[in-house]
Amino acid sequence: MSEEKLLREKGLAFFGSITASFSHEINNVMAIISELAGLMEDLLRVADQGHPPQLERFRGISVRIGTQVKRGEEMIKRLNRFAHTMDEPVKTIDMTHLLVDLIALSERLRTRRRARMETRFPEETILLVSNPFRLQQAVFSCMELVLAASHDNQLLRLILEKQEGGARITVAGEDPIVKTDEAALSFLPILMEELGGKVEVISTGNGGLSLVLSIPYSMPEDSKKPIDNRRKPYVASGKSTV
Amino acid sequence: MAPLRVLLIDDEEELVVTLAERMMLRGIEVEGVTSGADAIGRVQLVKFDVVVLDMKMPGIGGLEVMKRIRREQPGIKFILMTGRGSLEEGEEGMQEGAFAYLLKPINIEDLMKKMMEAIGV
């Protein structure tokens, strides 16, 4: 399969994975609101049967509905921002904001594996001119790879740092590697090359998997164009260290 | 007749609490837990008539929870809850011997009806 086709297919799969997982979360919020509204109806029915209305209980339910509505609104905002990362192949990105959104979007991926997350972001703002969708895809792939490499319940670390010429993102697990997804691992360099960056695979002190993404301040000119408008054939530059 | 004893399992705590409150208002004795592991622990100590189980949970998945609970209490009836996007999990659960599956958001009256049918009332 050509790299262009692979990038397109993997991109679509990533988009599908995030929207499927997040729509499941939104459905859960809707289910809770539906049950809380139903509980109010139940209590009204009890009151209609001659029992005094339990006003405090109604107030409590109203607060609980408000909490779920806020939770749902936040989810929809994040999902909407994520969908809009596909609008432009290149834009100026605040890396901390992008990663905070991605961490929220990938919560289900972590809870499925009962993973805890530790993050470290720099105090200074790191702005990159890059492809926001592909960047999120790269970091998400790293999270998937690290989580799949070991057992459940592990600690996942995500570190964003400034480095000469751009930014560095480290995604690392603390537990020893049990298995690695070679197919997914071999796609990462292709994705990073598209961003003008590279990926390094490092073993942590206790044998865990650590993936380090180096991303330049600005993407290569050719990658800034939509895939269909590029010069052909596409030539890989082999920057990856994997 | 003794009240129906139900174990409700869903990783969304607020859903468990609310659905349990609604069931209790209908005379059901209900215990709620938010993980498969907790559910397996409870069935080792308490006898239930029906398990209402969310199929998509972190940690031990719905099907595995079903199998392990059945090992503890072979006669127990399962009613599964699934999202619209995971109907196949409901079907799989039916093949594993679940009594019924319902789509989330569920309708409490449908759930009550299925629970009563499950115990033959």
* Overall average pLDDT of the B70-76 stretch: 94
Return the CATH number of the domain spanning residue range B5-106.
3.40.50.2300
How far apart CA B105 and CA A197 sit, in angstroms, is 44
What was the pLDDT predicted at B89?
Answer: 83
Interface test with A, best of B11, B18, B88 (most A CBs within 10 A): B18
How far apart CA A156 and CA A172 sit, in angstroms, is 6
pLDDT in tens, A54-77: 889 999 999 999 999 999 999 999
From the list A32, A113, A152, the residue facing B15 with the nearest CB is A32
What was the pLDDT predicted at A175?
Answer: 82
Determine whether the interchain pair A112/B106 forms a contact, defined as Cβ–Cβ distance below 8 Å: no
How far apart CA B14 and CA A71 sit, in angstroms, is 12
Q: What is the pTM of this model?
A: 0.81
pLDDT in tens, B14-28: 999 999 999 999 999
Q: Are A212 and A199 in contact (CB under 8 A)?
A: yes
Residues of A within 8 A of B15 (CB-CB) are 28, 31-32, 35
From the list A20, A39, A108, the residue facing B21 with the nearest CB is A39
From the list A28, A42, A113, the residue facing B12 with the nearest CB is A28
What was the pLDDT predicted at A242?
Answer: 40
What was the pLDDT predicted at B3?
Answer: 87
In which residue are the tokens 């360099």 written? A189
B41-45, B72-76, B86-90, range with the lowest pLDDT: B86-90
- Mean predicted lDDT score pLDDT of chain A: 88
What was the pLDDT predicted at A89?
Answer: 86
CB of B58 within 8 Å of any CB in chain A? yes
What was the pLDDT predicted at A77?
Answer: 93
Interface test with A, best of B103, B104, B106, B109 (most A CBs within 10 A): B104
CA neighbor of A25 nearest in space, from A88, A71, A90: A71
How far apart CA B34 and CA B16 sit, in angstroms, is 7
pLDDT in tens, A26-58: 989 999 999 999 999 999 999 998 888 788 999
- Ranges of each domain in chain B: 5-106
What was the pLDDT predicted at A241?
Answer: 42
Residues of A within 8 A of B25 (CB-CB) are 39, 42-43, 46
Q: Chains A, B: CB contacts under 8 A, how many?
A: 57
Query: Would you say residue B84 has pLDDT above 70?
Result: no
**Torsion, CA A187, CA A189, CA A195, CA A198, rounded to 10:** 160
CA-based nearest distance A11→chain B, Å: 20
Residues of B within 8 A of A30 (CB-CB) are 105
Determine whether the interchain pair B15/A28 forms a contact, defined as Cβ–Cβ distance below 8 Å: yes
Q: Strand, coil or helix: what is A5?
A: helix
CA-based nearest distance B112→chain A, Å: 14
- Please report the ipTM that was assigned to this predicted complex: 0.88
What is the torsional sign of CA A52, A56, A60, A65?
Answer: positive
* Overall average pLDDT of the B56-61 stretch: 82
Query: Would you say residue B87 has pLDDT above 90?
Result: no
From the list A20, A46, A112, the residue facing B58 with the nearest CB is A112
Q: What is the distance of C-alpha A112 from the center of its chain?
A: 14
CB of B52 within 8 Å of any CB in chain A? no
CB of B27 within 8 Å of any CB in chain A? no
- Ranges of each domain in chain A: 3-84, 91-229
Peptide bond connecting A53 to the previous residue in cis, omega within 30 degrees of 0: no
CA atoms within 13 A on the CB side of B26: 22
Q: Which of the following CATH numbers is that of domain A91-229: 3.40.630.190, 3.30.565.10, 3.40.47.10, 1.10.3720.10?
A: 3.30.565.10
- How far separated are the first and last CA of chain A, in Å rounded? 19
Query: Would you say residue A237 has pLDDT above 70?
Result: no
Determine whether the interchain pair A28/B106 forms a contact, defined as Cβ–Cβ distance below 8 Å: no
Reported confidence tier of residue A235, pLDDT bands at 50, 70, 90:
very low
CA-based nearest distance B14→chain A, Å: 7
* Higher-confidence position of B99 and A239: B99
pLDDT in tens, A101-133: 999 999 888 888 889 999 999 999 999 999 999
Query: Would you say residue A239 has pLDDT above 60?
Result: no
How far apart CA A122 and CA A100 sit, in angstroms, is 13
Residue A206 φ then ψ, to 5°: -100, 20
Query: Would you say residue A202 has pLDDT above 50?
Result: yes
* Higher-confidence position of A52 and A85: A85
